[in-house]
Structure 1
């Protein structure tokens, strides 16, 4: 019969604990990555859907873009994101998309009313929101790639 020292008996549970902690850390990293992917996939879907409508002169098509922005904003808000920093990006994108929806509708209303000054202002606001979205996307990408 073999004698086991107390030190050897403690080593196994400690090494097992170490493995479990490492697995937990790895799963947290995957969790961050999967949460990033949720947001990225939704932003890519938004870009693809709206691109087909962007350069249209038909007001109904332009209003469909506003609907797409609003729908995407709602979908973004519903994503299950646990990472606090990613929640900031999630809500930021949701706000940007809602802003695009509202501004696009105001743009169409201004065109219908032949209010060129307001239409130009709304066009500038859409451009500003687009820049904000790009900056936001770049910051989130850096955060998601940082392990």
Structure 2
């Protein structure tokens, strides 16, 4: 009989300890929002910059992607949004990286009329790819951002 009276309080203590130590939805939301905002700020601050900046932005966005992926979120809905945001930043990083490399390659084009045409065409192609990617990724990011805000503003 004495055995059972010790086990019950011990299991109750463990249950309270586990729920007391688990991270709240609010703190998980705050961590995810913080990293997403870092990525968004990088994009906003580097719009229309040079090739080297684009390549660095691509690397920085990969770092943001990894930071998002490494968040240890336990809330299933936040995990879903975490995966979505990681994909958004990863896709954007890849597109910006490719565009930066392509633009860098145009700098080695010949100084002839054919070379100038090649450069002009490459820049137009790069701009259209970046614009299309920005629109697509921007819409996805806005959608996920709205879902995140809506979910995080709900009371537990």
TM-score, normalising length: structure 2: 0.69
Deviations 1:101-125 (CA, angstroms, capped at 9, x unpaired):
0011122233334434641124311
Are 1:143 and 2:136 matched, yes or no?
Answer: no
Name the structure, 1 or 2, with higher relative contact order (CA <8 Å, separation 6+): 2
Note the alpha carbon deviations across 1:39-79, whole angstroms, 9 max, x for none: 001111222233322232x2101111111111100010000
Root mean square deviation, CA, Å: 2.4
Residue equivalent to 2:29: 36
Is structure 2 residue 72 aligned with structure 1 residue 80?
Answer: yes
1:106–1:122: 8 Å Cα contact kept in structure 2?
A: no
Contact 2:69 2:82 (C-alpha < 8 Å) held by counterparts? yes
| Structure 2: gaps spanning 5 or more residues | 1-11, 107-118
1:82 alignment partner, SS class = coil
Q: For residues 22-101 of structure 1, what are the structure 2 equivalents within 5 Å?
A: 31-56=24-49, 58-101=50-93
Structure 1 gap segments, 5+ residues each: 1-16
- The correspondence of residues 123-142 of structure 1 with structure 2, limited to 5 A, is 123-142=131-150
The 1:127–1:70 alpha-carbon spacing in structure 2 relative to 1, beyond 3 Å, is: same
Is residue 110–residue 118 contact of structure 1 (8 Å, CA) maintained in 2?
Answer: no
Aligned residues: 124
